[in-house]
Amino acid sequence: MSFQETLTNEEKLADLDVDQLKKLVGLVEYDESGDEFPVTGWDAIVFVVGNATQAAHYYQSAWGMELEAYSGPEHGNRDHKAFVLRSGSIRFVLKGAVDPDSELVAHHTRHGDGVVDIALEVPDVDKCIAQAKKVGATVLVEPHDETDEHGTIRIGAIATYGETRHTLIDRSRYNGPYLPGYVARSSTFVKRDGAPKRLFQALDHIVGNVELGKMDEWVGFYNKVMGFTNMAEFIGDDIATDYSALMSKVVANGNHRVKFPLNEPAISTHKSQIDEYLDFYRGPGAQHLALATNDILATVDALRAEGVDFLDTPDSYYSDPELRERIGQVRVPIEELQKRGILVDRDEDGYLLQIFTKPLGDRPTVFFELIERHGSLGFGKGNFKALFVALEREQARRGNL
């Protein structure tokens, strides 16, 4: 199978090519024929939010996403409203309860705004579910067809950490706007003059926070159930106890489109940021989504102009001689990064630029990262110390340290 053939429909629609994707998200060539649980890539990230109507506006106005589909009471869905938004090759679906007895209300009461479903595109739903069953994973939805005038999807779902699931979708026989039950809808929000076409092109990784002692269990889940392999980056005791108070390992699917770092809290002198998340999310869940951009400076400028808040980076981060030495040359002067609070990390393959937003909702739980890769396939391990100094300052402000 050639690289070109491995481009997903979403990527083709977003005018992305293989070279861009190699750079953006570290796509690698991969033969899926021997894979018991082949995964093509992300299908959609589904959020439950307290007010989807307003959140849909925020993701269009601040994050430059395009509305492309909708489901709600006007079209027979009396339970909830759902807005499907796109940027580049990735879809977000925002769901908010309409019916006060909707299951989404109870979910939102427990967890607040958050990710309920990391849906993945797979070539063979039945094969994946069969493999999941064989190794003892929890199947939430048996494989079945759903059909409307746009064709048929094959769909199933398995459980992952907390109340998060992976819906598995084969949409090769479907050309509707999202799923049966949804209608096409385009943005009524008008972008500002001169606004960039889009602020991010793809999704790079989603980090899961799990309980103390559970990281290896979930790494094992992704290894055993989904055939994901461990990537090199590993945050162990050395960094964990002094600065980050977390441990982390990363698993990825065969083509590396889908990457899941998994964090657990580390024992530390004060409450870790992972513990704070677990308290406020009431259990394990998705901590952050890393959005890939090919121009992080322009993206951050546009987001700041719309009022998106980022974590502060201490000035000392940029003047630290050891860090400067390690970073070497990057595509812009360090001062340009400092102005925006963008972090740099480097490894043997290259470097990456990254920055983290403050929590997206009211609870100190889910947030976004922006990432611009230049060869590095890491996740910013070298920034952990600097980052966690900044994070802990925020945590102290909220009185949770």
d(CA 357, CA 310): 4
Residue 144 annotated in ligand binding? no
- Phi and psi of 276, rounded to 5°? -60, -45
* Contact between residue 161 and residue 285 where contact means Cβ atoms under 8 Å apart: yes
Cα–Cα distances in angstroms (integers) from residue 24 to residues 115, 300, 309, 333, in the given order: 23, 16, 23, 21
Size of site (CB under 5 A) for Fe ion:
3
Segment near Fe ion (CB under 5 A); pick from 143-151, 311-319, 338-346, 376-384 = 376-384
Segment near Fe ion (CB under 5 A); pick from 156-164, 239-247, 378-386, 390-398 = 378-386
Task: CB nearer to Fe ion: give 174 or 379.
Answer: 379
Per CB under 5 A, contacts with Fe ion among 42-61 are none
Task: CB nearer to Fe ion: give 43 or 369.
Answer: 369
HSE at residue 140, side-chain half, CA atoms within 13 A, is 15
Q: What is the DSSP string of 134-196?
A: HTTPPEEEEEEEEEETTEEEEEEEEE-STT-EEEEEE-TTB-SSSSTT-EE----PPPPTT--
Segment near Fe ion (CB under 5 A); pick from 67-75, 125-133, 151-159, 287-295 = 287-295
Cβ at position 369, least distance to Fe ion in Å: 4
Query: Is position 369 an interface residue for Fe ion (rule: CB under 5 A)?
Result: yes
- Phi and psi of 262, rounded to 5°? -125, 125
Cβ at position 290, least distance to Fe ion in Å: 4
Give the pair of three-digit tokens for residue 328.
Answer: 């070497």
Radius of gyration of the CA atoms of the chain, in A:
20
* Contact between residue 222 and residue 228 where contact means Cβ atoms under 8 Å apart: yes
Cβ at position 383, least distance to Fe ion in Å: 10
* Contact between residue 128 and residue 168 where contact means Cβ atoms under 8 Å apart: yes
Task: CB nearer to Fe ion: give 121 or 369.
Answer: 369
d(CA 389, CA 401): 12
Task: CB nearer to Fe ion: give 70 or 368.
Answer: 368
Query: Is position 204 an interface residue for Fe ion (rule: CB under 5 A)?
Result: no
Per-residue binder mask for Fe ion (CB under 5 A), 242-281, x = binder: ----------------------------------------
Task: CB nearer to Fe ion: give 27 or 290.
Answer: 290
Task: CB nearer to Fe ion: give 80 or 340.
Answer: 340
Residue 205 annotated in ligand binding? yes
Cβ at position 367, least distance to Fe ion in Å: 10
Query: Is position 327 an interface residue for Fe ion (rule: CB under 5 A)?
Result: no
d(CA 222, CA 260): 9
Cβ at position 261, least distance to Fe ion in Å: 6
Segment near Fe ion (CB under 5 A); pick from 43-51, 90-98, 288-296, 340-348 = 288-296
Task: CB nearer to Fe ion: give 68 or 347.
Answer: 347
Count of helix runs (H) and strand runs (E) in the chain: 14, 17
d(CA 353, CA 374): 8
Cβ at position 380, least distance to Fe ion in Å: 6
Cβ at position 144, least distance to Fe ion in Å: 34
Query: Is position 290 an interface residue for Fe ion (rule: CB under 5 A)?
Result: yes
Cβ at position 276, least distance to Fe ion in Å: 17
* Local structure of residue 174 (DSSP, 8 states): B
Cβ at position 207, least distance to Fe ion in Å: 5
Beta sheet of 285-292, edge-to-edge order: 229-235, 246-252, 259-265, 202-209, 285-292, 367-374, 350-356, 343-347
In the chain, the amino acid numbered 116 is V
Task: CB nearer to Fe ion: give 70 or 356.
Answer: 356
Task: CB nearer to Fe ion: give 132 or 290.
Answer: 290
Segment near Fe ion (CB under 5 A); pick from 177-185, 225-233, 265-273, 372-380 = 372-380
Q: Determine how β-strand 246-252 pairs with β-strand 259-265.
A: antiparallel
Residue 150 annotated in ligand binding? no
d(CA 257, CA 67): 23
Helix axes 384-397, 273-281, angle to 10 degrees: 50
**How many residues are given for the chain?**
401
Q: State the residue for tokens 């994707």.
A: 21
Segment near Fe ion (CB under 5 A); pick from 156-164, 222-230, 365-373, 392-400 = 365-373
Annotated binding-site residue numbers for Fe cation? 205, 288, 369
Annotated binding-site residue numbers? 205, 288, 369
- Residues in contact with Fe ion by CB under 5 A are 290, 369, 379
